[in-house]
Amino acid sequence: MRRRSAVLTSLAVAAALTLAGCSGSSTPEPSASASESASAAATPAGTELPTVEGAFGEDPKITFPGTGAPADLKVEVLHAGDGAEVGADDYVVANYKGQVWDVDKAFDSSFDRGAPAGFSLNAVIKGWKQGLTGTHVGDRVLLSIPPDLGYGEQGAGQDIPGGSSLVFVVDVVEAYGKNAAGQADAKPVEPAPDLPVEITGNLGAPAEVRVKDGAPEPTKPTATVIATGTGEAVPETPGTTMLLQLAETAWDNSVSNSTWKTSGPTDEVKVGAGGIFDQLVGVPVGSRVVLQLPATEGSASASAAPAFAGVVDIVGVVPVPATK
């Protein structure tokens, strides 16, 4: 789907996660800096674009008009949703089908895989970033993307030759901004658990964590729910993506990190990867959880790491694609 910059946290490293990898999907990666912005032109009257059959959520059938591809980015909302507007830096969950102009076979389709995909708009080709910014959750969008906003003259493998214009039908399922958090109305656990940390930040807003002075270090990894959301429970299916916001601190409070202050929600945590995050299986989306991780000794393959504490908001789940 994309090439992402690493969202590296000590808790994630300790859980043996690889945060800088790419997914196995062939969907477009950035061909240039996605931070470059431009306004996507609305489709003017008379412009010939492909026709699309199928409702939102259905596998679309794309029929080309028999004319050349537009020279500029064209965006047409085929079905208008009533959800939140998609921001330029949002993390988006969507179903999509992509075809090269005048080629009937899709080069990539989440519909074929049976599950939507998640991606940051800062980590996809510019035609996606520009074309999806300003759309809404629930929209079905047709994108006609010229080569300079797609893969340029180099193309992408055998299915996308150099100089190709691309067509996508995209169903916007969900979108999360950089400050996304768990539910503001998540139910605090009562009685409140006795924890060695202090959490600041209201439910539904960015949080910070600090270890209390003199608190003993943890001896085993623990995940303690402090407020329970009402979303779906994180499934135990291996490979399921947990979309998380995380703030963490070394046990002596000397080093801290926060996705709220850097990348926004991270999708690099997968169920079944091992480590402390697997303790989030069964916890509802929208919940806030305190994590404690003991110090580790160095080895031939890994350096020593201090004990850490973290606060995690589970903001979403992206299901693992079906095996076909």
Separation CA 305–CA 296 (nearest Å): 5
Structure tokens at 267: 């999708």
Q: CA-based angle 254:255:258, to the nearest 5?
A: 140
pLDDT at 16: 30
Where along the chain do its domains lie? 31-176, 187-318
The stretches in the chain having pLDDT less than 50 are 1-8, 10, 12-28, 30-46, 324
SS3 string of 118-182? Answer: EEECCCCCHHHHHHHCCCECCCEEEEEECHHHCCHHHCECCCECCCCCEEEEEEEEEEECCCCCC
Is the omega angle on the peptide bond into residue 191 within 30 degrees of 0, that is, cis? yes
Kindly give the pairing relationship between strand 241-250 and strand 266-270.
Answer: antiparallel
Separation CA 25–CA 13 (nearest Å): 24
How many other CB atoms are found less than 10 A from the CB of residue 2? 22
Separation CA 127–CA 27 (nearest Å): 13
Separation CA 73–CA 150 (nearest Å): 10
Question: Which residue, chain included where needed, has tokens 């489709």?
Answer: 43
Structure tokens at 322: 């079906």
Q: pTM of the prediction?
A: 0.82
Residues 223, 290: contact at Cβ < 8 Å?
yes
| Number of alpha carbons in the 13 Å side-chain half-sphere of residue 311 | 27
First to last CA, the chain: 19
Separation CA 73–CA 40 (nearest Å): 6
Residues 67, 137: contact at Cβ < 8 Å?
no
* CATH topology classification for 31-176: Chitinase A; domain 3 (3.10.50)
pLDDT at 47: 56
Instruction: Say if domain 187-318 classifies as CATH 3.10.50.40.
Output: yes
Separation CA 273–CA 280 (nearest Å): 12
Residues whose CB falls within 8 Å of the CB of residue 255, separated by 6 or more in sequence, listed in order: 10, 249
Q: Which residues is 249 bridged to in the sheet?
A: 256, 309
Across the chain, what does the average pLDDT equal? 86
Question: CATH topology of 31-176 equal to that of 187-318?
Answer: yes
Instruction: Give the pLDDT confidence of 15-40 residue by residue, as tens digits.
Output: 332 222 223 334 445 433 333 333 34
Instruction: Give the pLDDT confidence of 185-221 residue by residue, as tens digits.
Output: 999 999 999 999 999 999 999 999 999 999 999 999 9
Separation CA 259–CA 136 (nearest Å): 24
pLDDT at 11: 57
Structure letter (DSSP) for residue 279: G
